[in-house]
Structure 1
Amino acid sequence: MSPTTTAVRAGLRRGLIEVRNTLSNGQDLWNYAFPTVVLLVAMFFMRGSTVPGTGFSLGARTLPSALGMGIAFGGMLMLAQQLIVDREDGTLLRAKATPNGMLGYLVGKLVLTSSAAVLGLLLQLVPGVFFLDGLRLGEPGAWLTLAWVVPLGLVAALPLGAVIGSVIENPRNMGLVVLPMMGLIALSGIFYPINGYPGWVQAVAQAFPIYWLGLGMRSALLPDALSAVELGGSWRHLETVLALGGWAVLGLLLAPVVLRRMARRESGSRVAARRERAMQRVM
């Protein structure tokens, strides 16, 4: 068995162990449940409103969009936070010191992050079905669309998360990423159609994967008639594949370079300095 295969298998085992641990940790479960409850409560109160120009529930329209947003958040921010924390406590340095340890480490984190994103999707989708009407979960086409939108969205988001986690060293600086992402969510039609926005706002939204993930999830779960309120009057599956695929290719090209550079710079003195700064923040 080659060293690479051994590292990948070790990473898969590590990832599954971390998934099991996070599902048995009360704090982690609360971190999954709290945002889910907030979103579901918001959609519950939105269910009486309608999408402009239609009689369709705005809450039901928002749920698929929120699922796409969750994939983007789970893929980018969770992996970035994992990398930053593991750099600070020395976990990453120990992985670097092991033959093919970085590969096994990254495989494990990808398994954990992907599993958490899918879990978050299910936690929102399953309860939402019971109080939101119009979702087409009973149609095979919906599941076929989900089968390519979700994996492609994760492949587009996860490398970007690795890049962010490699560039940012201080966990307190995550706000530099979270705040722009919140702005993109407001522009990307997650909670309200963007047809009425100025053209330049629509162009900015379509330049990032959050919009396309939301559109892809809406195309999977909403009736075809709702495509009329989207930009271009259709679900634009080809454009979704090209946009998410483009971000995936960019991330996959960029992430290995940035990760290798970050790993080369890791040392015991840098870990010790980070720990000292962390202790000063606590004190």
Structure 2
Amino acid sequence: MKTGWQRGLIELRQSFTNGPELFSHFLWPVLMLAALFFLRHRDFGSTGFLLGALALPGILGMNAAMGMVSMSQQLTADREDGTLLRAKAVPNGMVSYLIGKVVSVAGGLLVDLAILLIPGLLLVDGLALGSAHWFTLVWVLVLGLVATLPIGAVLGSVFTTARSQGLIQLPMLALIAVSGIFYPITALPGWLEGIGQLTPVYWMGLGMRSALLPGEAVVVEVGQSWRHLETAAVLGLWAVAGLLLAPVVLRRMARRESGSKVAERRERALRRVA
């Protein structure tokens, strides 16, 4: 446990001293802030609520949910370059590796969210910032990360090369499109509304909106309710499923790893570069 925690903190610190990774930490929040700038004075239909205020919490939820993509990409890269194989060779190495990866990915996400949230609070009007709202923001964020990061670990065990990670992007964009991130899900057709509510992304967005929007904004949500119990239940089910499935899948993947497979993947990568 301690070794995994230390490993995660080292990886997190390295991500903020590496130029390309540091750029990626700021790129997406800056793009989202630019979108919020153009939405900040636009109304959502005839409700009287500003679209920017409705979008900011959803974007925060989306960014947190995207941690599963980051987790998947990092696991696949570590599998390809032999890092995972080396972790396997150390006593309790897989446990320490996973703890470290969760710490580094979650830590990076929290920093990214702060980069987006702090300027966003100054940019967007119509938000509620009482103490109860901050408590809701924290528990939704923590439970959401527990629900999504194990999914990323499972996806990372499925894809064998970093290049194959591109296959995740299109489904993820489709998932975001039907999850009511940039607008309340009630604006979608009924059948898409049902699909969106099966995803953890929707519930993270809803939880973030309940934390940052005034109470009267609930009229644009399904059933005109923030559905906190349902949010906790759905995210909890995703968390339990992921935490049960991820260790099984990762152990199975680790058993199949060998030095010859790592060398073979490295040789294929070198041939592509050549």
Bin for the TM-score computed over the shorter chain: over 0.9
* Distance in structure 2 (CA, Å) of the matches to 1:281 and 1:127: 42
One-letter amino acid of the counterpart of residue 61, structure 2? G
Q: 2 CA distance for matches of 1:194 and 1:9?
A: 42
Which one is further off, 185-194 or 108-117? Answer: 185-194
1:55 deviation in Å? 1.8
Q: For the aligned residues, what is the CA RMSD?
A: 0.9
Name the SS for the 1:192 alignment partner. coil
Match of 1:109 in 2: 101
Q: Could you tell me which residue of structure 1 aligns to residue 25 of structure 2?
A: 32
- Correspondence 1:1-283 to 2 at 5 A: 8-74=1-67, 76-137=68-129, 139-283=130-274
How far does residue 196 in structure 1 lie from its aligned partner after superposition? Answer: 3.0
SS at match of 1:195: helix
Measured after TM superposition, the shift of residue 149 of structure 1 is: 0.3
Q: Report the residue type matching 2:96 in the other structure.
A: G
TM-score, normalised to structure 1's length?
0.95
Instruction: Provide the C-alpha distance between the structure 2 equivalents of 1:131 and 1:105, rounded to a whole number of angstroms.
Output: 39
Identical residues among aligned pairs (%)? 57
The letter of the residue matching 1:233 is: Q
Per-residue CA distance 1:157-183 (angstroms, 9 max, x = gap): 010000000111121121221211111
The residue identity in structure 2 corresponding to 1:77 is: V
4+ residue runs over 3 A deviation? none
Gaps of 5+ in 1: 1-7
CA–CA separation in structure 2 for the residues paired with 1:58 and 1:236: 21
Question: What's the offset of the Cα at 1:18?
Answer: 1.1
Q: What's the CA shift for 1:145?
A: 0.2
With structure 2 as the length reference, what TM-score do the two structures score? 0.98
Cα deviation digits, residues 172-220 of structure 1 (max 9, x gap): 1212212111111111111122213221101110011010000000000
CA distance, structure 2, for counterparts of residue 135 and residue 30 of structure 1: 29
| Counterpart-to-counterpart distance in 1, 2:184 and 2:8 | 37
Equivalenced residue count is 274
Q: Give the Cα–Cα distance (whole angstroms) in 1 for the partners of residues 94 and 188 of structure 2.
A: 44
Amino acid at match of 1:50: D
What SS class does the counterpart of residue 182 from structure 2 fall into?
A: coil
* CA deviations over 1:20-40 (Å, ceiling 9, x no partner): 111112211100111111110
